């Protein structure tokens, strides 16, 4: 029997690549994002190429009830989700006190609340069946405070910490939880976050989304709890442990 992977943020970037990878590996898919047109384009491509079943669930995860609607969609269509890929997320650039409050709220809703709620909905069913994988996309931003991207950095640290804790809780149940922490990746994130001029994307060469998604897929398949990707991610992790926090946050401000 074919397994099913649910992927958020599937209309572009890493999510698009995750969908192609899981389809290639024989999974049926539930693809979630705001853009129904792009999801339908992806559905057509994957169903024609791999003959998998692909369900389109058009939801804006910044809406308060989005996670419950996604979960209800799977119940209504009698879909057992074996793999949950919490990939959706976005950032913003600037001083916290100058941010648009509504955009701040949406960032926290997508990056933290929706991720937690989706995990809470699907994890018990995975544990009951004795099989499942949760892949949460964190970031190198998880390792220190991030001036000029304060909420994004904090949200990714939450994702890493939350994922590690839940992974330990479900150990031995047949279910794994993976926090994947990539460095700068060519997904269009920098444009959406208004940070095209950031040294993270001008000095450091962003990784290809396809390569990052492949590494994340392999980490989840192996049941890794925490996986870094790229030299910058390894450096940031080690640096955050060795340097005083006052230094690490100044470094983050500089590269941001």
Sorting pLDDT into bands at 50, 70 and 90, what band is 245? low
Across 84-89, average pLDDT: 97
Instruction: Label residue 99 by pLDDT band (50, 70, 90).
Output: confident
Instruction: Record the tokens describing residue 62, joined without a space.
Output: 């910044």
The parent domain of residue 165 ranges over 4-255
Q: How many distinct structural domains can be found in the chain?
A: 1
| Residue 139: other Cβ atoms inside 10 A | 28
Out of 22, 152, 153, 217, pick the active-site residue. Answer: 152
- Predicted pLDDT at 147: 67
Say what the pLDDT of residue 195 is.
45
Cα distances (Å, whole numbers) of residue 124 to 117, 157, 231: 12, 24, 35
Q: Would you state the pLDDT for residue 110?
A: 97
Catalytic residue check, 152: yes
For the chain, helix (H) and strand (E) counts, in that order, are 11, 9
Which CA distances in Å does 179 have to 109, 215, 232?
18, 12, 17
Residue 78 confidence (pLDDT) above 60: yes
Q: What is the CATH number of the domain that holds 75?
A: 3.40.50.720
Residue 2 is predicted with a pLDDT of 84
> What are 186-196's pLDDT values in tens digits?
655 445 445 45
**pTM, full prediction:** 0.85
The mean per-residue pLDDT over the stretch 213-226 comes to 97
Give residue 255's pLDDT. Answer: 60
Average pLDDT of the chain?
Answer: 86
pLDDT at 212 over 80: yes
Q: Is residue 56's pLDDT more than 80?
A: yes
pLDDT at residue 1 in the model: 66
Greater confidence, 42 or 144? Answer: 42
Q: Residue 76: CB partners within 8 Å, gap ≥ 6?
A: none
pLDDT confidence of residue 190: 47
């Amino acid at each position: 029997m074919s397994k099913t992977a649910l992927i958020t943020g599937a209309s572009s970037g890493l999510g698009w690549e995750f969908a192609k990878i899981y389809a290639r590996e024989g999974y049926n898919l539930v693809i979630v994002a705001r853009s129904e047109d792009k999801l339908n384009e992806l559905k057509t491509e994957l169903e024609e190429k791999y003959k998998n079943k692909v369900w389109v669930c058009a939801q804006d995860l910044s809406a308060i009830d989005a996670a419950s609607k996604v979960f209800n969609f799977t119940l209504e269509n009698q879909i057992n989700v074996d793999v949950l890929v919490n990939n959706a997320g976005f950032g913003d650039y600037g001083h916290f006190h100058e941010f648009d409050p509504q955009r701040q709220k949406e960032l926290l809703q997508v990056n933290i609340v929706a991720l937690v709620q989706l995990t809470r909905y699907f994890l018990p069913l995975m544990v009951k069946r004795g099989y499942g994988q949760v892949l949460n996309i964190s970031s190198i931003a998880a390792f220190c405070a991030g001036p000029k991207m304060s909420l994004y950095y904090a949200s990714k640290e939450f994702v890493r910490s939350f994922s590690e804790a839940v992974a330990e809780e479900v150990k031995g149940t047949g279910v794994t939880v993976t926090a994947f922490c990539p460095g700068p990746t060519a997904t269009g994130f920098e444009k959406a976050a208004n940070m095209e001029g950031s040294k993270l994307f001008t000095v450091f060469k962003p990784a290809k989304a396809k390569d990052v998604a492949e590494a994340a897929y392999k980490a989840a398949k192996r049941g890794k709890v925490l996986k870094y990707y790229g030299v910058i991610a390894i450096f940031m992790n080690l640096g955050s442990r060795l340097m005083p926090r006052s230094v690490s946050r100044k470094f983050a401000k500089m590269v941001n």
